[in-house]
Amino acid sequence: MLLKSTQYSIKVFETTITDEIEFMDFFDNNYTLFKDHLIVIKGECSSSIKEYLKSKELTYLNDITLPKGRTRKALEEELKAQNVDAAVLAQIAQSELDKLSNQLQNNLTVLDEIVRSGRELEIKGDLLLLNRVNSGATITTNGNVIITKVVEGAIRCSGNFMMLTASPKANIIFHGVEVDNTLLEDRLNRVELKNNEIIITPVLKKEINWAL
């Protein structure tokens, strides 16, 4: 599916109204300068001000915080940090995989692709997924699962363990029990079945036990 989009560059004028008459006089006197701006009004905006802006055909938003623009250098630094973070996460996943290798079955499937919405993936054995699971996608496996990126779809697992990143939108069923995904709060979390209990262990954090 192709995403059609249009990007706009707009000028924004942000203000707070302390005196309505003064506010309207300002825009009467500077209408030509600000008629092509987006007016962002912080705080209260009365019906009379709204009617005034409408009569002047001025586009406005009330009490909303707009994202601040970033320089190219800041964007490059953020992308670099994300790449470093992803590399660290992959190393952690590999380390945990090595620790749990004695629990793995012989049939391991390794995928480095996005599981997109509408896809139903059935795996016989273990799964190592190096990408994300989109909303509307479902993964079902009778083995173990390690996913190194965010899950927004559904996971159905009956293996010994799962390893997942923080995924507040995921729908996770482990051995027939729905997992409270708010407990998957770390960058990587281990979910195991031990002594008839589901144990969630955020990496480098203390364990959280559930009764099954």
Per-residue confidence (pLDDT) for residue 46, from 0 to 100: 92
Per-residue confidence (pLDDT) for residue 110, from 0 to 100: 86
* Residue in 99, 188, 105, 208 with CA at minimum distance from that of residue 146: 188
Q: Does 103 share its domain with 42?
A: no
| Cβ neighbours of residue 59 closer than 8 Å, sequence gap 6 or more | 37, 38, 39
Q: Does 101 share its domain with 155?
A: yes
Per-residue confidence (pLDDT) for residue 1, from 0 to 100: 46
Query: Would you say residue 186 lies in a domain?
Result: yes
Query: Would you say residue 196 lies in a domain?
Result: yes
Query: Would you say residue 3 lies in a domain?
Result: no
Here the CATH number for the domain that contains residue 167 is 2.160.20.70
Q: Does 50 share its domain with 154?
A: no
Q: What domain range is 169 assigned to?
A: 89-211
User: Sign of the CA dihedral 29, 34, 38, 40?
Assistant: negative
| Secondary structure, 3-state, 8-40 | CCCEEEEEECCCHHHHHHHHHHCHHHHCCEEEE
Q: Does 100 share its domain with 202?
A: yes
> What gap in Å lies between CA 149 and CA 133, rounded to an integer?
8
What string of pLDDT tens digits covers the 212 residues of the chain? 456 677 777 888 999 999 999 999 999 999 888 888 999 999 889 999 999 999 999 999 998 887 766 666 766 666 665 555 566 566 666 665 565 555 544 578 888 899 999 999 999 988 989 889 999 999 999 988 989 889 999 999 998 889 898 888 999 999 998 988 888 877 788 898 888 788 888 775 444 444 44
Per-residue confidence (pLDDT) for residue 94, from 0 to 100: 62
Q: Does 154 share its domain with 99?
A: yes
Per-residue confidence (pLDDT) for residue 49, from 0 to 100: 92
Per-residue confidence (pLDDT) for residue 106, from 0 to 100: 52
Q: Does 144 share its domain with 198?
A: yes
Stated as kind and residue range, the H or E segment containing 47 is helix 47-55
User: Which residues is 7 bridged to in the sheet?
Assistant: none
Q: Does 139 share its domain with 196?
A: yes
Per-residue confidence (pLDDT) for residue 64, from 0 to 100: 85
pTM, rounded to two decimals: 0.53
Query: Would you say residue 101 lies in a domain?
Result: yes
**How remote is the C-alpha of 162 from its chain's centroid?**
20
Query: Would you say residue 5 lies in a domain?
Result: no
- CB atoms under 10 Å from CB of 57, counted, come to 8
Query: Would you say residue 2 lies in a domain?
Result: no
Query: Would you say residue 82 lies in a domain?
Result: no
